[in-house]
A and B are shown apart, each in its own frame.
Chain A
Amino acid sequence: MSIYEVLFWFLTVVALSCALGVILSRNPVNSVLFLILTFFAISGHYILMNAQFLAIVNIIVYAGAIMVLFLFVIMLMNLNADTEPQKNRLVQLAGVISGGVLFLVVLAALKSSSRGELEQTSTDIGLIKNLGKTLFTQFVLPFEISSVLFLSAMIGAIVIGKKEEASTNN
């Protein structure tokens, strides 16, 4: 068993167990912390697949920015395990069964699909130089459009989150 496979299985076990921890833990703050660990494990997978730029961006954007936003909102609302809304056991069971059945169906459908091999030689397509070349030659129009999308999302978030007094006064 090579070092590559050992790392793969370790990261897989960490990612799956932390993902289960996200949906099973009662306290929302614990869920956020488990999700951060899941994102770190996925970043480890990216590094294993020679996508170093995406691994760093994943840590900065997801584990850094987005999860801090989630943590802030949860702490602002003062949610904890006591305020966790309870739900019908039957509906919960139906959710688990439908998710599991979807997994089994796709597993069975893809088991005999055409198989490819991930060669373990190091490639440099994941480095920032090649990604930048691809991004700014083939995908420059989507890049600009996504910047407009991001700006409108920020403005929308500010407009939605504004205090109510402004609209009630006029």
Chain B
Amino acid sequence: MPIQYYLFLSMALFCIGIMGTLMRRNAIIIFMCIEMMLNAVNLLLVAFSKMYGDSSAQIFVFFNMVVAAAEVAVGLAIIVMMYRKVHSVDINILNRLKH
């Protein structure tokens, strides 16, 4: 199995995540697309780890998961707080930093 297949699979997942981030207006779905992009990178790291026979890349995947979990906890808390204030998760309404 050439490494190119995994390269293209993880690139495709990453680009689908980017498309979702740009397309959708729901803040929670944008968050889920960011998770998808992180997972695409994880997949590529594991493929390289297998190719070179080195376990350091798998440790990086582990740290990636830790940071993603912390990010989700804080981000969802921010979204819940925003929802309590404006009763919406539409990011068109959540552009107050501009004013």
Chain A positions within 8 Å of B, measured between CB atoms, are 4-5, 8, 12, 15-16, 19-20, 22-23, 28, 31-32, 35, 38-39, 42, 45-46, 49-51, 53-54, 57-58, 61-62, 65-66, 69-70, 73-74, 76-77, 79, 84-87, 91-92, 94-96, 98-100, 102-103, 106-107, 110-111, 113, 115-118, 120, 123, 125-126, 130-131, 134-135, 138-139, 142, 146, 149-150, 153-154, 156-158, 160-161, 164
Contacts and interface: CB of A to CB of B under 8 A. Distances in A.
Given A19-B16, A35-B35, A102-B15, A156 B77 contact: yes
A138 B80 CA distance: 39
Contacts of A53: 58
Contacts, number: 231
Contacts of A118: 1-3, 6, 47, 50-51
Nearest to A11: B9
B2 to A, nearest CB: 6
25 contacts: A19-B36, A22-B20, A22-B32, A23-B20, A35-B36, A45-B6, A46-B46, A49-B50, A51-B58, A58-B39, A61-B69, A62-B65, A76-B80, A79-B28, A94-B22, A98-B22, A99-B15, A100-B15, A113-B4, A115-B3, A118-B3, A118-B6, A118-B51, A131-B55, A150-B70
Contacts of A110: 4, 7-8, 11
Per DSSP, chain B at the interface is helix
A165 B44 CA distance: 46
A66 B69 contact: yes
Interface residues of B, number: 70
